Amino acid sequence: MLDISRKKVVITGAAQGIGLATVKRLIKENCAITIWDFDQQALAAAERELKTLGAEVYCQVCDITDEARVNELAVQAVRDMGQVDILINNAGCVIAGRFCSHPPAAWERETKINLTSMYYTIYAFLPAMLERNSGHIVNISSGAGLTGLPDLAVYCATKWAVYGLTESLRLEAMHDRKFGVRFSSIHPGILKHGMFEGTRMNFLGEFFVPRLDSHDQIAEVIVEKALKRGKAMVMRPQGSQVGMILRGLFPDTLLNWMLLLSGAGGCMDHWTGRPGSKHASNE
């Protein structure tokens, strides 16, 4: 079990959802936390709530697709907290629909938020971690980072990429004997509330991979499994692991038909997303 008490943490997209739930758990570990979020109103509300808990929290408005702003606030985070021990890349967005239903510019924006922004944040904090041979980077991927889904082609593409990015960085650190620097990818299934509000599979899909009730279920595995136990890859719900096994056992075409029989073809038919933010939202 790794001791994370009093660690210095930066979390992106942490004014609500998984990010905010994770902040609350880290406060109980006496961590100092810097929160970045694009939504000024949600950030202000989160700051008011967190201050009542007596937490050492620094809240900054940040568009993570703006490399200059990321670099500026990375310097500020070190100035505020002394150093950054843990980076949690949580911010993300979803745009749903058939691939040709949106212009490439929309998909490029989704890619910048879900993937390219991680290049900026990791580049800002990883060199110091490698120099100290100490640190942990947690990247929020998705269950959709393990299998394709209709109406989520680019979302899936970015989350698969996050998984590959995380594993590659881990291998680089291991090869360079920087064993004190850890990397974890988190793969949440469908959450009943928040960014994927209204999304569902049919009874078969719900049986094998039930939707998650709360963001804290993911926050728990981030803190307890990834950070404290150093797990490289964490999936929730547990049924998500079945898909990994089936992929190794069955041809892709058969696996595709199994997904469709589980309701994947219509999983986004009743999607509404977080109120007031249909096409973009924090995880």
CA quadruple 23, 24, 25, 26: dihedral sign: positive
Catalytic residues: 155
Alpha carbon distances (Å) from 159 to 28, 186, 208, 219, 249? 29, 10, 21, 18, 23
State how far the Cα of 123 lies from the Cα of 6, in Å rounded to an integer.
23
Contact 95, 280 (CB under 8 A): yes
State how far the Cα of 111 lies from the Cα of 19, in Å rounded to an integer.
19
Tell which residue, 159, 184, 160, 156, has the closest CA to residue 170. Answer: 184
Alpha carbon distances (Å) from 146 to 138, 168, 234, 266, 271? 17, 16, 12, 18, 21
Alpha carbon distances (Å) from 61 to 47, 58, 143, 189? 11, 10, 28, 28
State how far the Cα of 91 lies from the Cα of 252, in Å rounded to an integer.
31
